[in-house]
Amino acid sequence: MNSQDKIVKIPEVIAYARVSSREQAENSAALDQQIARLKAAGAELVLVDTESGREGKESQRSDFQKLIKWVRGGLVKRVIITRLDRLSRSVLTLRKVIKEFQDSECVLVALDENIDMSNAGSKFNVNMLCALAEMESDRLSERIRRGKEHFRKEKRASHPPFGYMVKDYRFYPNREPFLCLLADKKEYSKADMARDLVEHYITKKSLNEGCRYFQNRYGYSEFWQTALKKWLTSPVLQGDLVYYPKSKNPEIHPNTHEALISREEAQTIKDIIAFNHKVGGFGHRRGIYPLTGLVKCECGGGCIVASGSKGVIKYFVCARTRIGGCNRKHSTKVVELENAVIEALTKRADEIAQFANVGFVEESPELQDLRIQLAELEALTNSRRNVNPAISEAIRKLRNQIEHLQQQTHNQDQIEINNRELLRLVASRHDFWAEQDTSQKQKFFRALVDHVLVSNGKILQVVLKV
């Protein structure tokens, strides 16, 4: 009990009124009417809360919390309200509140429902009303759940991401003219704008730059960095329908509509985002270097680029030294590290070339097992006229799983093809590295180098991915 509660005497009969901003807008005298009725019913004090919307929670209502505290403390003998929903709109919360009143032997009176819990009949009516309301709430939840299950079973689409529209419960690229740029006097659809943004991100590799570009070119503030990342990685853009995208195991139905980005582009975007996350962003003020994010200190920390005394020579130094987390303060020249990596790749040219010519692996055991299960179930259906619905559903799910795994295998094969061509190129030409600029070296180093381990200015190990 606070100091105010100790000084002010609390009446034994109080009332509680609640009004929302919507109710006030519809009837400006709604609160005054409640207070007048409650005082006429015998209330000596009226506690009042005004909510800013339907989402208002009981914990955010100061006078409601004060009322409950007084009831629990046995300071109030009788509480008057106009309707039960003035206490709470939630059935479960209302039942808890009523139990608080009963445990504290405080009489609750609701004027509109003609309830006075000082008698057994009113107690029965209140419990019955709560039970019926809870049952209706449960039924509504069940209807919503069944509706969602049917929605997913029919593979229906909703909530299209930017660049798409929904027609007949399917995703279609939105090719309707959306805006006209004065610069080139051309009309662009949302699908055109989406493709432009994807290509720009793959080229510039920066979420922040992509957001600025989209805003400056189209004057359309649809994205910020987090939203752009979520949009770029959405399976919908790859032609897949997804349910529960925020869960750890989203339900994905592949190839249900026209894609705006290819599987190869999606993998490239994923790699860019992963690498940027690893190095703390792309295009930061320290500049772009081929080995950015790949140099690690022996202490376990990552290394960042620093300049020499005249700002000409660049070094990699452990990022932890600046906060006293590492005592290895000697740095390593960027040029020396790049030369060490190139030397390691050149020495293993023959091994790299041999690795590049290795054939692809066969189907995974998981995929093979699913195919066997599918064949067994299909054999059962071939021998029966009336097929059990459960078997049909199991066949459908197996086919979806197989299709999804096949698509993943195809994507991985495509990545392997790209890497193998890259490996053959690196292994076949001894003067290859001298012709590459910074951005090209960065691309190759990302694909071929796992990390370079340094300690106090010395290069300990160059770890390759091949």
Decide if 310 is inside a domain.
no
Q: Is 273 helix (H, G, I), strand (E, B) or coil?
A: helix
Same domain, 123 and 67: yes
pLDDT at 3 over 50: no
**pLDDT tier for residue 124 given thresholds of 50, 70 and 90:** confident
218 CB-contact burial (10 Å; exposed 0-12 / middle 13-18 / buried 19+): middle
Task: Take residue 278 and report the two structure tokens written for it.
Answer: 């690893």
Residue pair 386/380 in contact by the 8 Å Cβ criterion: no
pLDDT of residue 1: 45
Per the domain annotation, does 267 fall within a domain? yes
pLDDT at 353: 62
Please identify, among 117, 148, 179, the residue that sits at the C-terminal boundary of a domain.
Answer: 148
CATH number (domain holding residue 194): 3.90.1750.20
Amino acid identity, residue 154? E
Q: How far apart are CA 103 and CA 32, in angstroms?
A: 31
Q: Are residues 258 and 346 in the same domain?
A: no
My answer on whether 134 and 243 are in the same domain is no
DSSP symbols for 58-102: GGG-HHHHHHHHHHHTT--SEEEES-GGGT-S-HHHHHHHHHHHH
> Does residue 134 register a pLDDT over 60?
yes
Residue 324 lies in a domain: no
Residue 192: predicted pLDDT? 93
Distance CA 450, CA 423 (A): 15
Q: What token pair was written down for 341?
A: 């990596």
Q: Are residues 208 and 271 in the same domain?
A: yes
**pLDDT classification of 381: cutoffs 50, 70, 90:** low
Task: Specify if 453 maps to a domain.
Answer: yes
Answer yes or no: are the C-beta atoms of 454 and 337 closer than 8 Å.
yes
Q: Quick one: tokens of 232?
A: 């770029």
Same structural domain, 430 and 370: yes
- Bigger pLDDT: 42 or 283? 42
Residue 366 above 90 pLDDT?
no
In the prediction, which pLDDT does 54 show? 46
Total-model pTM: 0.46
SS3 content of the chain, % helix, strand, coil (to 5): 50, 15, 30
Residue 419 pLDDT class (50, 70, 90 cuts): low
- Which has the minimum average pLDDT: 2-6, 168-172, 355-359, 386-390? 2-6
Asked if residue 328 is part of any domain, the answer here is: no
φ and ψ at residue 38, rounded to 5 degrees: -65, -40
More confident residue, 265 or 219: 265
Residue 266 in contact with residue 281, Cβ under 8 Å? no
Q: Are 134 and 195 part of one and the same domain?
A: no
Domains in the chain, number: 3
Are 416 and 448 part of one and the same domain? yes
Closest by CA to 404, choosing from 232, 244, 249, is 249
| Six token digits for residue 125 | 């009516």
Are 20 and 129 members of one domain?
Answer: yes
**For residue 359, is pLDDT > 50?**
no
Least confident segment among 62-66, 99-103, 107-111, 276-280: 276-280
CATH code where residue 36 lies: 3.40.50.1390
The pLDDT assigned to 282 comes to 47
Give the pLDDT confidence score for residue 372 in this predicted structure.
76
d(CA 177, CA 187): 6
Residues 103 and 129 in one domain: yes
How many Å apart are CA 139 and CA 143, to the nearest integer?
A: 6
Of all residues in the chain, the percent with pLDDT exceeding 70 is 79
The answer to whether residues 178 and 271 belong to one domain is: yes
pLDDT digits (tens, 9 = 90+) for 252-263: 999 999 999 999
Judge whether 466 and 449 are in contact, CB under 8 Å.
no
Residue 20 has pLDDT above 90, yes or no: no
Count CA within 13 A, CB hemisphere, residue 255.
10
Same domain, 174 and 143: no
Helix (H) or strand (E) run with residue 112 in it:
none
Query: Is there a domain that residue 318 lies in?
Result: no
288 occurs within a structural domain: no
Strand-pair partners of 126? none
Across the range 7-14, mean pLDDT stands at 75
Measured CA to CA, the distance from residue 456 to residue 327 in angstroms comes to: 8
In a domain, 285, yes or no: no
Same domain membership, residue 200 and residue 271: yes
Range of the domain at 229: 164-279
